[in-house]
C-alpha cells in the first residue's frame, strides 16, 4: 500500500483510492475514509474505510474494509516515509 498524503491518494495493486475524510480515532491511530476505483469494477467508484495504528517508529498495523465490511483481519506493514 502506498499513501500520498499531499494528493490525498492511496493505491495498492490495481486499486486507487481518493482519501475523502481523515479522522483521529485514538492516540497513534487514524481512519481514512476513501472512495476507490478498480479495473474490475468497470468505472463504478465504491467507498471503503482504512484503519491505521502506529506500532513503533517503523511499523503500522492496517485493516481495511472489503465491500464496505471488515472481512479480513489486517496486518503489520513497514512504514517508509518519503524522505527516508
Round the average pLDDT of the chain to a whole number and report it: 90
Provide the 8-state DSSP code for 40.
G
- pLDDT over 70, % of the chain: 96
Summarize pLDDT for 43-56 with one digit per residue, the tens. Answer: 789 999 999 999 99
Please state, in angstroms and rounded to a whole number, the distance separating the CA atoms of residues 39 and 26.
34
By C-alpha distance, which of 24, 38, 31 is closest to 67?
Answer: 38
- Which of the four pLDDT bands, split at 50, 70 and 90, describes residue 69? very high
Q: Is a pLDDT exceeding 80 seen at residue 13? A: no
- Which of the four pLDDT bands, split at 50, 70 and 90, describes residue 38? confident
What pTM was computed for the model?
0.83
Q: Is a pLDDT exceeding 70 seen at residue 72? A: yes
Position 1 scores a pLDDT of 84
Amino acid at each position: 500500500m502506498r499513501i500520498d498524503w499531499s494528493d490525498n491518494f492511496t493505491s495498492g495493486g490495481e486499486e486507487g483510492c481518493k482519501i475523502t475524510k481523515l479522522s483521529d480515532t485514538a492516540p497513534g491511530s487514524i481512519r481514512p475514509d476513501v472512495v476507490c476505483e478498480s479495473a474490475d469494477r468497470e468505472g463504478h467508484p465504491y467507498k471503503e474505510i482504512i484503519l491505521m495504528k502506529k506500532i513503533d517508529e517503523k511499523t503500522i498495523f492496517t485493516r481495511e474494509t472489503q465491500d464496505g465490511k471488515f472481512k479480513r483481519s489486517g496486518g503489520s506493514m513497514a512504514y517508509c516515509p518519503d524522505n527516508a
